[in-house]
Amino acid sequence: MRPLTDEETKIMFEKLSKYIGENIKLLVDRPDGTYCFRLHNDRVYYMSEKILKLATNISRDKLVSVGTCFGKFTKTRKFRLHITALEFLAPYAKFKVWVKPGAEQSFLYGNHVLKSGLGRITENTMQYQGVVVYSMADVPLGFGVAAKTTQECRRVDPMSIVVFHQADVGEFIRNEDTLT
């Protein structure tokens, strides 16, 4: 477990900023304590200083997970967001997409969100903007990337994809073994 390098931090922040913009600042600079990002097994964990200290007692090879996993760096050094980060990102999400109850399940099975399942969307969403997907009851369901702008979304036919699937809470079950 080690702190992230500058490059890694940059990559990760770039990814996170797609979803929460400058609100990353609120994650890094928290009033309720010191929180930090740590890299372990190519995964980025977000934890409080307290947990960090506790985790130092565990040897590196035995440590499976600590804090909250935000995502992992792929072999190509890209950052991939994990669904576990949802809890931290959802409150700060700038662009949101609400999914109709009927399409909820489809999304939770890992499918993209179609226009027919789109219940509500934040205005002025740009194309390829990272969005947090909510159910109509405002329960965060996962991450996505807007495939169309809000304006386009109005016009496209019902079967076209409006949000690309990135991660969903269904992964907690589907990828239970790999999700740490």
Partner 1 sequence: MRRLYVGGLSHLITEKDLKDRFGKFGKVEDVELRTRKDEDGVPYKTFGYINIDISDVDLKKCLTVLNKSKWKGGTLQIEMAKESFLHRLAEERQAATEQCLKPPKAEDKRQKLLDSLSKAGVENFTMKAAVPGTEIAGHKDWIVSKFGRVLPVLQLRCQKGNKARTLKYDPSKYCHNIRKLDRDATVEPTPVTQLTWEVQGGDDDISKKRRGEFPPYQPPRPKKSRTNVVNSCNTAAKTKPSQIVEAVNPTEAHRFKNGFLQSTNQRATHRRGAYLNDGDVDSDEEIRRLVEAQQISHSALQQVSEDDNLEVVGFDYLKSGKKGRSEDKNEDDYDSADTDELFASRKPPPPPPQKKSAPPIPEQLTENNTDRRKKRLKRKGKAGGQEEDEEDLLDADEDLTCWKSSTTVQRRDASKQNCQTKGGISEKQSNEMADLPLSESDFSDDEDEDEEELDSDDSCSDSDYEGMFSNVTHLEISLADLQRLAEENQETSDTTAPSILSTGLEQKTNLPSGPTEQPAPKKGTLPEDILAAILEDNSSEDEQGRKKGKRKGVITSLPAFQGTRALNQGLDEFMKAQKEQDERRDVKKQKLDSAAQLNPRATTSGTTNQQKHTETKKTPESRHKDMEEQKRKGDVVKDMPATKGLKGTPSEAETVSSSSNSSSDDDGEHGDEKEGGKSLQAAVTAKASLLSSSSSFEEDEEKSTQDPVKAAPSTASDSDSFSSDEDEKEEHSLPRVSLKAEDEEEQQRKANMRRLAAVQQRQKEAEEHKKLIQGALANPDAQKAGAGKHIVFGSDDEDDEEEVETTSEISTSKKPLFQEGQSDDDSTSDEAPSNQNNRNIEKERLKPSGPQLFGGSDAEDDGDEKEDGGRFDIRPQFEGRAGQKLMELQSRFGTDERFRMDSRFLEDDEKKDEESEGKDSMTQDDEALEQERKKNLDILQSVLGSSQQTSSKTSSKAKTFRDVSSLHYDPSKEEHAAFETTADESKESKSARKKKREEAQKLPEVSKEIYFDVSGDLTTMFGLTKSDVPGQEENTTWDQEKEEEAGGQDEEPTLLSSAPTADLNADKEESAGFKFSFFGDDTETENKLTAEYKVESIQTPKASWQQDPRFQDSSSDEDEDEQEEEEEPTSTATKMREEEKETPSKVNLFFFHPEDIRLTEGPRLFCRSTQLENQREQWEERRNELRQEYRKKHKNARRKLKSSQQR
The residues that touch partner 1, with contacts defined as CB under 8 A, are: 3, 6, 9-10, 13-14, 17, 21-22, 24-25, 28-29, 34, 36-37, 49, 52-53, 94, 96, 98, 101-106, 115-116, 118-123, 135-139, 150, 153-155, 158
Q: Which residue, 159 or 178, is less far from partner 1 as judged by CB?
A: 159
Integer-rounded Cα radius of gyration of the chain: 17
Which one, 104 or 177, has the nearer CB to partner 1?
104
Q: Report yes or no: 142 and 101 within 8 Å, Cβ to Cβ.
A: no
- In the chain, the amino acid numbered 13 is F
Q: Which helix (H) or strand (E) holds 132?
A: strand 130-135
Nearer to partner 1, 60 or 120 (CB): 120
Q: How far is the CB of 14 from partner 1 (least distance, A)?
A: 5
- Element at 55 (helix H, strand E): helix 49-55
Task: Work out how close the CB of 159 gets to partner 1 at its nearest, in angstroms, rounded to a whole number.
Answer: 12
> What is each CA distance from 53 to 35, 39, 89, 134, in whole angstroms?
11, 15, 24, 35
Smallest distance, partner 1 to C-beta of residue 119, A? 6
CB of 93 to partner 1, least distance (A): 10
Which amino acid belongs to residue 121?
I
